[in-house]
Structure formats: structure tokens, C-alpha cells
Chain A
Amino acid sequence: KNQVEQSPQSLIILEGKNCTLQCNYTVSPFSNLRWYKQDTGRGPVSLTIMTFSENTKSNGRYTATLDADTKQSSLHITASQLSDSASYICVVSLYNTNAGKSTFGDGTTLTVKP
């Protein structure tokens, strides 16, 4: 069964600190892995996408890594800001299947405190 598991479920950090969110998956055949950020009361917005051959991708203070062998990904946030408080969702998509077949993780809720 295709699964995506994220950890931790929730995380509280102080402003300015770094943090790392984890995503483990068993999705196959793997096409790509995307991290979304969802602010409270809004729809998710894509941060990064990585395919099988990519092992790191950055978007400003966000850096995602992918280990396709161990089927693990992480999202590292550097110098956190209050606006980073959100839910971060890991999404893994299948290859060569019906359009948009993706498996969503349950998300990590990040709270950045001043």
C-alpha cells in the first residue's frame, strides 16, 4: 500500500532557529516528491519538487533533500520566521498512472514563537 508518513506531527521552535521535518514513503512507482506549505485558512502552496535523480532542492530558506534509496525526504528551514508557522505536507506522486495520482502525508504543524 502506498503510504507517506511525516514526523514530527507538530513542532514548536523559537524564531531564528533551524528545524528539520521528515517524510518517509513507500510509494511506487515513484515519480516525484513535493513539499507544500499550508497557512491557516488557506490552500497548500508548493515549496519544492524533486524527482528520482535529484537529492536536494532549495527555495530561499527552505531546503528539501531526497534519498530515493531509503525513500526518505526532509525539509530543512533555516533561520525560522514567524511567517513559517504553518502546516507542511509531503506529497509523493506515482509515475505513469492516472493524472494527479498522489499520496499525501498527514503534515507537520510548525509553530514559530517570538
Chain B
Amino acid sequence: DTAVSQTPKYLVTQMGNDKSIKCEQNLGHDTMYWYKQDSKKFLKIMFSYNNKELIINETVPNRFSPKSPDKAHLNLHINSLELGDSAVYFCASSQAGVDNSYEQYFGPGTRLTVT
């Protein structure tokens, strides 16, 4: 069974469109994340949710809106897509603790291409 799954794996869309990426984890973790990896392979955190509550929002444009319907899901909705949004988006999950020592388990990524 896949621990962290994302859909779709590939997404090609035009500028100005609205799209969503779904993420599900079956590890029973309390914390979920969204990361963006650009063409230079730099991995940057976008959001972190703990028990459905937004914990981290790293200066991401308002066009990006995460939604966590329950602990096992964290979806990412993007409005008015721009060329610069083209990247690979990774979802991850982990247990939570004050020492942040728990491993993050990453999904396979969603390659978003905006034309």
C-alpha cells in the first residue's frame, strides 16, 4: 500500500486556469505538508497542517489554498495559474513532536506544467 499518494501525477494546464492536487496518507500521521520543487531542484516548504489546522504558511501567494478535510488528506488548490507555478509539488506527512524528530514521508510528486 502506498503510504503517501498524490493525484494527479502529471498536470498540464493553461495560464489562468484553476486546478487542484490531492494528497492522502494512510500512515496515521498528524502532520501533513506541501512542498514546491522548482527546476533547479530546490525543495521549499509551502504549508504545514497539524490535525487539520494550518501551522506553517511560507509566504505563498493567496492563489494557493490548502484544504484539509481530515487528518489523512491535504489538498492544494491553485487559482489563476501562472507560468511560474510550473514545478513539482510534493506532499508529505509525519508524526508531530516538539523536537521535530519524526521523519517526513513524501509522496511521488505532481509535475505541474503551465503553458
Which residues of chain A have a CB within 8 Å of any CB of chain B? Answer: 31-32, 34, 38, 41-46, 49, 51, 87, 89, 93-102, 104, 106-107, 109
Contact = CB atoms under 8 A, between A and B. Distances in A.
B55 interface: yes
B100 A107 contact: no
Contacts of B45: 100, 102, 104
Interface string B8-48: 00000000000000000000001101000000111111001
What size tier do the contact residues of chain B reach? Answer: 20 to 34
A92 B19 CA distance: 32
A109 B37 CA distance: 14
B48 A43 contact: no
10 contacts: A42-B109, A44-B90, A49-B103, A87-B41, A94-B100, A95-B98, A95-B99, A100-B94, A100-B96, A107-B43
